[in-house]
Amino acid sequence: MKNTSLTSKVEGRIVIVSSEAHRFAYGEGINFDKINDQSEYSSTGAYARSKLANILHANELARRFKEEKVDIIANSLHPGSIITNLLRYHSYIDVVARSLGKLVLKNVHQGAATSCYVALHPQVKGVSGRYFSDSNIAEPTSKAKDMNLAKKLWDFSLGLIS
């Protein structure tokens, strides 16, 4: 992407899908010392921390691109609560979710709107390291804006793959 942005003189855009569920990550955000501790595992907590990690990753990318003076932006977003096939193997829950969901959840096209906006809209040009919801800049938690935590996550991740 860096080479393409440099040679084409066109801003690159990285869009990372997160969720409002990032708000449910526990106090310190990500406990690196217990990252694989099964005794404290919950699927809801793991989902919340993964969505927090997505925002932190976008923010660290944005910081690095700015530091390197690369014309690439990185942002994260909440697509909204969407009617999907996610619960298709939980028949009774799926029926309830689809029935009631039509009244309060977004359809797939509506759910894709913020992703498309952040990826393509001219108003987002030059806007980097931000969190979006409903095609607008939104405020994530203070942990999601913690640049020290973002850097720590980056370094931790690199350590896992080195």
Q: Tell me, yes or no, if 41 is annotated catalytic.
A: yes
Mutual orientation of helices 147-161 and 43-67 as an angle, nearest 10°? 100
Question: Which residues, including other chains, have CB under 8 Å from residue 133's CB and lie 6 or more apart?
Answer: 20, 77, 78, 80, 114
What value does the CA radius of gyration of the chain take, rounded to a whole number of Å?
Answer: 17
Map tokens 């990185």 to a residue.
74
Map tokens 């994260």 to a residue.
76
Active-site position among 26, 41, 89, 131? 41
Active site residues: 41
